[in-house]
Structure 1
């Protein structure tokens, strides 16, 4: 069975969000992409407290200057499409009030006919936490736990009751409900986060950094699920951050998903062999405008399907 393919929506600063998001969403669905994805970057610090991903000295990419809010972006896409799933990869959960986030996801799922996928993470930016977080950075794991619990409660049957550190719901009706249970996927990168994923979530959202590394991580996660007595299968959706260029990259140091369409498809094929449910491609950082994004997305999709992906 072919791997499902998705596409990231245009959120970065070079795009006109109101015009380009619906346009790209419609085009992607017509091309054949089965899902549409957004990510979260709350701000761009002019003097960052730390480097990209918390790595000292690694600069933030200029594409992060002005990233559109993820659920607003998905709402624009939902109104322009009929079939494609609508996912976050990832939404930084502790930057949001748990109850309001749960209600927003439920409303979007109800409005879209059951197409939402909630991909959540804890983030890494101290500057984003200083500006927006409901609790300090050091408590990010605990807040993600509460977000998951509140979502499950709010999305479940009425009356809803819940008592946590941030959230207290005393026997209330909370509607609208999602059209179906919204899957929660986590971008778990360490052992503690992986245990949370196995115990509380529906699946995993890795980033494509090499097929061999991905396969080892997937085996380890499945082994952990077996150790902890999980019986439900884990879903897995791979994010690929493609450094697309019109010309082939001919250096020996070519990274995963770096280069032209042929090279990116070669990497897609290698990662698809790992056996995940879905792969989505983020090319928005390398395309000048929505038209180029649509053209490259169409070329990638055709080439990937021709390669048996």
Structure 2
């Protein structure tokens, strides 16, 4: 199983030195990938509760960096892959998104993993002038445009939501026919879209039997669509809330000790999870302390 680490693009360590330090240290420690998330607002009272047990959005999101620009900075590494988990792609006009993603894949020499999600907060859609309703259809047409933009030398699009006049597309991604696109999804329609359209799935940490049951749904749906499910991959996000005392079963994996998360990662590998990455950004620890935790985590998981 591949292991990844989130970049410090939120909170007090969201600055140049933080991104450079974590990028280079993660690569030196043996991590396989670096990941960023996406926020444009941090309201005191969101219109929709944050998707967590207490419904409260972490205050680290008050200080947020652009995910793609941050990955471009991290592209100064040489080996690790660079991913978004997730990029709220619907906030961008599809042609602008296609240009940005293609540029990043070129600059990173073909190391980009495009993780797209729909977000959870209508306030952010209002702020960027994109309708909250109809997100699924907007995502489907965005995927249509990305796929054709990457594949064709001459390109035009006429859809229900977007019109692109005919154009020559000279800049092509290093990865052909394009960077892998993974989708965050949890409802039946979203899981079906993963199975039929994407390169993989971006879930968040949950009890492994439930996780693998959802993955089984994806693979079965892929087979019904005449796609080879072995070509799909899962990249599992884990947001540890570290405790000194071992968490009860009903609290984990929302919170737990480092040893519990290490055991979870080992079990995930045995269950068939392809990649697992941790985001230590919600920890109150300093950047140096989080780097130490990341080092202990990968060393212990690899030993297992």
Interval of TM-score (by shorter of Structure 1 and Structure 2)? over 0.9
Structure 1 distance, partners of 2:167, 2:201, is: 31
Q: Relative to structure 2, which stretch is displaced further, 55-64 or 221-230?
A: 55-64
Aligned residues: 301
User: 1:236 matched to which residue of 2?
Assistant: 234
Q: Does 1:91 align with 2:87?
A: yes
Q: Does 1:184 align with 2:181?
A: yes
Cα distance 1:29–1:56, how it changes in 2: closer, same or farther (>3 A)?
closer
Residue deviations 1:23-62 (CA, integer Å, cap 9, x gap): 1000000000000001112211123212113x89722122
Q: TM-score, normalised by structure 1?
A: 0.92
Residue deviations 1:168-198 (CA, integer Å, cap 9, x gap): 2333122421101200011121111122222
Matched-pair contact (CA < 8 Å) for 2:11–2:281: no
Structure 1 distance, partners of 2:109, 2:160, is: 32
Matched-pair contact (CA < 8 Å) for 2:155–2:169: yes
Residue deviations 1:191-228 (CA, integer Å, cap 9, x gap): 11122222211111111111111111111211121222
Q: TM-score, normalised by structure 2?
A: 0.93
Matched-pair contact (CA < 8 Å) for 1:203–1:235: yes
Cα distance 1:250–1:215, how it changes in 2: closer, same or farther (>3 A)?
closer
Q: Relative to structure 2, which stretch is displaced further, 105-114 or 6-15?
A: 6-15
User: 1:128 matched to which residue of 2?
Assistant: 124
Structure 1 distance, partners of 2:53, 2:127, is: 21
Matched-pair contact (CA < 8 Å) for 2:106–2:174: yes
User: 2:276 matched to which residue of 1?
Assistant: 279
User: 2:149 matched to which residue of 1?
Assistant: 154
Unmatched 5+ residue regions in structure 1? none
CA RMSD of the aligned region, Å? 1.8
Structure 1 distance, partners of 2:271, 2:249, is: 24
Misfit runs of 4+, over 3 Å: 250-254
